[in-house]
Amino acid sequence: MPANPLLALVNGRVLGDHGPREGLAVLVRGKRIVAVVADNDPRLADAQRHDLHGNLLLPGFIDVQVNGGGGLLFNDAPTAETLRGIAAAHRKFGTTGMLPTLITDTADIMRAALNAVDDAIEQQVPGILGIHVEGPFLATARKGIHNADLFRYPDEDDIEALTAPRKAAVMLTLAPDQVSPLTIARLSQGGVIVVAGHTAADYATTRAALDAGVRGFTHLYNAMTPLSSRDPGVVGAALDDPHSWCGLIADGHHVHPATLRIAIAAKARGKCVLVTDAMPPVGSDRPDYVLNGQTITMRDGICQNEAGVLAGSGLDMASAVRNTVQMLGLPLAEASRMASSYPAAWLGLERTHGRIAAGYQADLAVMDDGLVVRETWVGGVAYPVT
């Protein structure tokens, strides 16, 4: 048997730009998709067949905001082994690529987290595409669950750590009212994907940050100044800007469905991205965890402290896609893009990830008609969902 055999995924409905299509086979060799062909293509004669049993075949989901999963929190143990466990937990829900997210912490923990992601990529932990550092350069007035005692301004050591050569993407959430446009420009020019969040900025300050290099917004609407008639705020700047991306938590709790639909209608197509902001209960039987010394409990999919402050979410990407179809009324093809090709573009991976096409990474999610994941493929390797 060849070391790198040709594999044919057959008897599925391949999700394309206009919806699911029958009569197609996806040819995979190693980590890459070789071709998408008719199911009677002569190349199938020499391929190993994998039966999809009539299920839907979607591009694997890419989540740029994952704090934890499988009972693990990245902040608690920023190591490659922690990332292996978190990625495995989310893989059950079709997530094939993620940015593990570090919530506001000390400078030492931030450096450990950056190194842990490099280690995980070196060890080829499936699904790790980089890191999202959320804080500590945030605004106390919009702190959410973050520990404001750890908030600070970025110093030279911070900038050096964040812009140092890394093996994958570095995304940084900061507050434009706390970080100058000059520093934002330095970070952006140093290769950091700078996004705005947990901020009390006004429209003008946010607009200046966009001009300096801010490329997106973390969990749009939450922990930022709202849109109003005479004060557009951060939300207004985000919706007004045609080039930036907006992360949306489609769990029905963080943002009202109508409000999500307004954002999707306002933004240019391709600029709204599904995220989970997931916490340890995702993929775990334990509903509680500790963050900043506070016990957080998930009830009915909502993660809150005793005072009722939201602390991330219990959302997984399969549920986010399902909610976008069933709760927001979007076509499955668009919901899928919001979970795959659009976040890939945000990370600069649009030529290798987020599509079912020749030359792309064989990262795939197999879903039934109820949009429940049955198999997940990462780099051409199948991970059955049990």
Q: What residues act catalytically?
A: 277
100 near 83, Cβ under 8 Å? yes
* End-to-end Cα separation, the chain, in angstroms: 29
- From residue 100, how far is each of 80, 168, 194 by CA, in Å? 11, 12, 16
- From residue 246, how far is each of 57, 64, 215, 235 by CA, in Å? 26, 11, 9, 10
Give ∠ CA 264-266-272 in degrees, rounded to 5: 35
Angle between helices 181-189 and 203-212 (to 10 degrees): 30
Distance CA 49, CA 35 (A): 14
Strands 56-59 and 61-66: unpaired
Distance CA 167, CA 176 (A): 27
Distance CA 51, CA 8 (A): 9
Distance CA 10, CA 12 (A): 6
DSSP 8-state symbol, 227 = P
| Rg, the chain, Cα only | 20
- From residue 304, how far is each of 144, 184, 225, 279 by CA, in Å? 11, 32, 21, 11
Give residue for tokens 């591009």.
59
Query: Helices marked H in the chain — which ranges?
Result: 80-91, 107-122, 156-163, 181-189, 203-212, 233-240, 257-266, 317-326, 332-339, 341-346
